Amino acid sequence: MIPKPKAISGKDVAAPIPCPDVTIVVPTYMERRNIETLIERLQVVLVGVNWEVIFVDDSSPDGTAAIAKELGQFDARIRCIRRIGRRGLAGACIEGVLASQARYICVMDADLQHDENLIPQMLNVLQRNECDLIIASRYMTDEPIAGLTGRREHLSRFATLLSRRFLHITLSDPLSGFFAMRRDMFDDIAAKLSPDGFKLLLNIVLVEGPHLNIIEIPFGFRARHHGESKLDTRATLDFCALLLSQATANIIPQRFLLFFAVGLSGIAVHFLMLKLLMIGDSNFIYAQGAAAAVAIVSNFWLNNNLTYRDQKLSGIDALRGFALFVLICSFGFVSNISISDWIFVGDKAWWLAGFAGAVVSAVWNYSVSAALVWRR
Ligand code: GDD
Ligand code: MN
């Protein structure tokens, strides 16, 4: 029961404005040209519903947030959270939901690929208590999907297949970005959700799956209106890291796996460079030094753009970060050599010694650079 506002010393107090029944949470990055159309469509399809929309924009350089706030001047149901210094689809959705006090939330993309006509039906199902979570699925038909190019569709279907096989998920589209649920349920699990990556729904299902009553309904994933997709090969790599991390019961963090993969790529880069440099009659020591330098630059660049892309360093920060990274990795290198030497002398198993040295230095490089170079 909502308490009535009290009259203070005989003065009238304005009546409260009812809170919306549903908050549509829309993560945006570079969606300037889609915002207005999306709002127009929501206004049409949600007639008779008490709704609001919260755009969560990561300071898109194209001024998406400014457009949303400008439109919000004319309609208080249009809100925008502008985040600074952060990137990431899942994190943006989480913050949008946390800012809501409606009974239900619905997460959807800004680029008009999700069919807004489904929202009233999704709400109805929730209001009738038929489920806790309702997912609009792209894969309940065998038709080719308009919104995905051939390669993207294969990748996406493959990722879905992997999550079904390895994570024992029976949903047809656990990676959908279009779903609605009770807000209080989301609030209960919010602290356990990862802001990294794009698979918020999968994360919710993994955290809370057995306790949730889930319904899926089909929809036709439309082609993008304006702009381009931000989910690329990096998103797929991210997803593979999630699967691996799950396979170790989350003992090994997803980021470490990416960091480790980057480290392995560094070895490949090193040997490739060394081979190239040794084609001529080069001095081995110089070639080895140059190859190591290229590998370390490549490792830093990959970690900055892949492992830590949500905290990507640029400009002078990147230079400072790189200098620190080199310093940290040289300590890692020394510990690698000393530990493997120690094991080798004691045990004589060269492969065990080499492996142990590599793992210890990887853990060192990872934890120290997480604390000093890409600290949150
Ligand atoms: N705030 C914020 N920050 N929003 C982002 C970011 C980010 O870093 N990256 C993407 N978005 C927004 C986009 O502006 C868009 O509204 C929505 O998130 C989806 O991004 P797209 O780049 O359009 O993704 P997609 O269409 O390629 O991917 C689709 O499939 C994925 C799973 O395969 C979407 O439906 C995703 O939601 C879905 O997870
Ligand atoms: Mn899209």
Whether residue 2 is predicted with pLDDT greater than 70 in this model: the reply is no
Average pLDDT over residues 309-317: 88
| Six-digit token string for 124 | 């109805």
Contact criterion met (CB below 8 Å) for 102 and 54:
no
Q: Whose CA is closest to 309, among 207, 195, 227?
A: 195
Question: Which atom of ligand 1 has the smallest separation from the CA of 29?
Answer: 14
Whole-model pTM: value is 0.78
Whether residue 4 is predicted with pLDDT greater than 70 in this model: the reply is no
Task: For residue 307, give the DSSP letter.
Answer: I
Task: For residue 189, give the DSSP letter.
Answer: H
Whether residue 312 is predicted with pLDDT greater than 80 in this model: the reply is yes
Contact criterion met (CB below 8 Å) for 225 and 111:
yes
Q: Which of 7-21, 94-108, 267-281 has the lowest mean pLDDT?
A: 7-21
Strand partners, 133: 181, 214
Q: Which of 66-80, 198-212, 311-325 has the lowest mean pLDDT?
A: 198-212
Contact criterion met (CB below 8 Å) for 78 and 53:
yes
Q: Report residue 5's pLDDT band, with 50, 70 and 90 as the boundaries.
A: low
The confidence score (pLDDT) of residue 119 equals: 97
Query: Quick one: which ligand is closest to 197's CA?
Result: 1
Quick: pLDDT tens for 322-349.
999 999 988 888 888 888 888 888 777 7
The CA angle 299-300-304, to the nearest 5 degrees, is 115
Average pLDDT over residues 150-175: 80
Average pLDDT over residues 2-14: 69
Query: For 62, what's the count of Cα atoms within 13 Å in the CB-facing half-sphere?
Result: 14
Say how many Å lie between the CA of residue 108 and the centre of ligand 1: 9
* Helix segments in the chain, DSSP class H: 32-45, 64-72, 89-98, 119-127, 150-167, 183-189, 200-208, 233-247, 254-277, 284-302, 315-347, 350-372
Q: Which of 1-10, 112-121, 364-373 has the lowest mean pLDDT?
A: 1-10
Q: Report residue 223's pLDDT band, with 50, 70 and 90 as the boundaries.
A: confident
Q: Report residue 8's pLDDT band, with 50, 70 and 90 as the boundaries.
A: low
Percent of the chain with pLDDT over 90: 47
Whether residue 259 is predicted with pLDDT greater than 70 in this model: the reply is yes
The chain-wide mean pLDDT, for the chain, equals: 87
Average pLDDT over residues 97-120: 96
The confidence score (pLDDT) of residue 214 equals: 94
Question: Which atom of ligand 1 has the smallest separation from the CA of 87?
Answer: 8
Contact criterion met (CB below 8 Å) for 227 and 30:
yes
Q: How far apart are CA 144 and CA 25, in angstroms?
A: 27
29 within ligand 1 shell (Cβ under 6 A): yes
The confidence score (pLDDT) of residue 15 equals: 85
- Which residue among 231, 237, 240, 310 has the greatest number of ligand 1 atoms within 8 angstroms of its CB, and so is best to mutate? 231
Contact criterion met (CB below 8 Å) for 277 and 343:
no
The confidence score (pLDDT) of residue 224 equals: 79
Contact criterion met (CB below 8 Å) for 183 and 105:
yes
Q: Report residue 37's pLDDT band, with 50, 70 and 90 as the boundaries.
A: very high
Whether residue 55 is predicted with pLDDT greater than 70 in this model: the reply is yes
Average pLDDT over residues 362-369: 89
* Protein residues within 5 Å, CB atom, of ion ligand 2: 109, 111, 113
113 within ligand 1 shell (Cβ under 6 A): yes
Query: What residue owns the CA closest to ligand 1's atom 27?
Result: 229
Average pLDDT over residues 344-370: 83
